[in-house]
Amino acid sequence: MRRMDVGPLVIKGKSARLRLGRRRAGLTFWLSVALMFGLAGSPARGATRCPAGAGGGETLEAIDGEARLSWIDVHLSTTARRARIWTWGWGTGIIVATVANLAPLPFVAKSDRIDWYVGASTTIVGIVPLLIAPLDVVDDARKLHAEAAAGASTDNLCRLLAGAELSLVRDAKNQADGQRWWLHVGNVLLNVGVGLFLGVGYHHWGTGALNAFGGSAIGEAIILTQPTGTIQDLRRYQAGALDGR
């Protein structure tokens, strides 16, 4: 029988496999390099740069527009919730106080009824600004949240953010206006005037003093407990300090 020499075939097979492995390793290396440089050179998807509004600067502009919009939405909604509690809490208290001033009328002397009428009249006046002129943040937060929940495309994100920034500035000013010095002065003058009306006009100095001091104290409490969170939120937003919610 004739013997076959397979040694050269084995060597050739190993050599071919070695060359193929080197080619594959080289191809994998260059593909990895290309992928690395491609990812480094392309911008991150989903990040949208929008102009800085509301008095912000470069730090604010560097933050993703969607993150800024979400931050404003959350903070306006928080202050709006507090504003609703403030409005309806004081409104309910004022209505109860008005009813309490009117309820005893059938049981008091006619000469003393003026005290109760005046008390009811001045008390119910306090609910008027709460109901006809609520804080702007209540309506602004509702509108912004509805728009943000509907989703903003890349094309209209900056437009929606610009509107949100205008609301942030407007609501901060509105809340600051609710704390102005003339409101405190007006509150005291109104209640002192009521006290003088009862004292000078009807010689009911005791009731007049009670209305003057009590009414002034309640009015100050309403003013001082008004939510003002958007004022501080605006300062943080302008500084680009959006890290902590």
Q: What is the pLDDT of residue 2?
A: 46
End-to-end CA distance of the chain: give it in Å, rounded. Answer: 89
pLDDT tens figures, 88-123:
999 999 999 999 999 999 999 999 999 999 999 888
Q: How far is CA 33 from the centre of its chain?
A: 46
**Cα distances (angstroms) measured from residue 231 to each of 54, 186, 242:** 12, 23, 15
Q: What is the pLDDT of residues 212-242, one digit of tens each?
A: 999 999 999 999 999 999 999 999 999 999 9
Give residue-wise pLDDT tens across range 17-56: 545 455 554 444 444 444 344 434 444 445 789 999 999 9
Provide the H-helix boundaries in 126-242. 127-132, 136-150, 154-177, 181-202, 205-224, 229-239
Rounded Cα–Cα distance for residues 98 and 119 (Å): 8
pLDDT at 6 over 70: no
Per-residue pLDDT band at 59 (split at 50, 70, 90): very high
pLDDT of 243 reads 81
245 vs 167, residue with greater confidence: 167
pLDDT in tens, 141-173: 999 999 988 876 777 899 999 999 999 999 999
Q: What pTM did the predictor assign?
A: 0.76
Which amino acid does the sequence have at 205? Answer: W
- pLDDT for residue 132 is more than 90: no
Q: What is the pLDDT of residue 163?
A: 95
* Residue 217 neighbours by CB under 8 Å, 6+ apart: none
Question: Quick one: the chain helix, strand, coil %, rounded to 5?
Answer: 80, 0, 20
Residue pair 157/69 in contact by the 8 Å Cβ criterion: yes
Mean pLDDT, rounded, for 69-85: 97
More confidently predicted of 47 and 182:
182
Q: What angle do CA 140, 141, 143 make, to 5 degrees?
A: 65
pLDDT of residue 40: 40
pLDDT value at position 193? 95
Burial class (CB in 10 A: 0-12, 13-18, 19+), 219: buried
pLDDT at 11 exceeding the cut of 70 = no
Measuring CA to CA, which residue among 143, 134, 171, 144 is closest to residue 54? 171
16 pLDDT above the threshold of 80: no
In this predicted structure, the answer to whether residue 64 has a pLDDT above a threshold of 60 is: yes
| Domain ranges for the chain | 58-239
